């Protein structure tokens, strides 16, 4: 496979239960809501399509993404966990593609080039692969899997979400060892948010070199 086409599912339905009453996706990062910064980067990576799965405070997420080239999928079962959003988003995909990328809406340090890095790595793998980014032994996100797995994901046979898919198809899993930690950075708590703000607004290139001078 010389160049893989992909579609992106963005999980933006969660409760932000560890953010002490604030909706993490709406917190400002560099002058815009966190979710908008994330989705802008995904769109810039040029997927076939982007489906944003909403749930908790879905109207506000919808408004935060006004004008971006995405489609929305409401997940009424979002309180049951992330696995339901994965299935809901994959079921909503319409464009033909080689692979599906499951993106987290709170990974604000990722840029378009990072998403392309994963797709380019996936393109070198055998057909039917599952790609998981890693940094210094820690598993990251997004996960990329062949579109042939979509019926399993939608049918619920691989719940909960990507973790079960990876476990049930371990022979097809390939690890992408990144030279930076960005695939492992998300934003679940107030401390995470402050760390991310210091990093992106302070212009800190906190990659492998910054962590290991």
Burial environment of residue 24 by CB neighbours within 10 A (0 to 12, 13 to 18, 19 or more)? buried
Q: Over range 177-183, report the average pLDDT.
A: 98
**Three-state secondary structure call for residue 174:** strand
Residue 210's pLDDT band (cuts 50, 70, 90): very low
Predicted confidence at residue 201, as pLDDT, reads 87
Predicted confidence at residue 103, as pLDDT, reads 98
Give the contacts of 210 (CB within 8 A, at least 6 positions apart): 204
Q: State phi, psi for 124 to the nearest 5 degrees.
A: -90, -5
Q: Over range 43-65, report the average pLDDT.
A: 98
The residue among 156 and 69 whose pLDDT is bigger is: 69
Type and span of the H or E element at 134: strand 130-135
Residue 207 has pLDDT above 50, yes or no: no
- Architecture of the domain whose range is 6-211: Alpha-Beta Complex (3.90)
Give tens-digit pLDDT for 103-141: 999 999 999 999 999 999 999 999 999 999 999 999 999
């Amino acid at each position: 496979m010389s160049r893989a086409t992909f579609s992106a599912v963005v999980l933006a339905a969660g409760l932000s239960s560890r953010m002490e009453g604030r909706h993490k996706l709406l917190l400002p990062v560099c002058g815009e809501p966190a979710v908008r910064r994330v989705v802008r980067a995904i769109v810039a990576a040029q997927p076939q399509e982007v489906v944003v799965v909403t749930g908790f405070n879905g109207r506000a997420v919808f408004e935060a993404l006004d004008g971006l080239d995405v489609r929305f999928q409401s997940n009424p079962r979002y309180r049951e966990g992330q696995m339901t959003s994965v299935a809901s988003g994959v079921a909503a995909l319409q464009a033909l593609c080689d692979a599906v990328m499951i993106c987290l809406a709170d990974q604000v340090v990722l840029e378009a080039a990072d998403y392309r890095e994963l797709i380019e790595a996936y393109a070198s793998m055998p057909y039917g692969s599952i790609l998981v980014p890693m940094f210094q032994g820690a598993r990251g996100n997004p996960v990329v899997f062949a579109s042939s797995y979509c019926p399993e994901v939608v049918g619920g046979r691989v719940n909960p979400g990507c973790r079960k898919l990876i476990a049930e198809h371990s022979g097809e899993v390939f690890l992408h060892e990144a030279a930076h930690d960005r695939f492992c950075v998300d934003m679940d708590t107030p401390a995470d948010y402050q760390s991310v703000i210091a990093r992106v607004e302070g212009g800190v290139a906190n990659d492998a070199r910054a962590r290991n001078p």
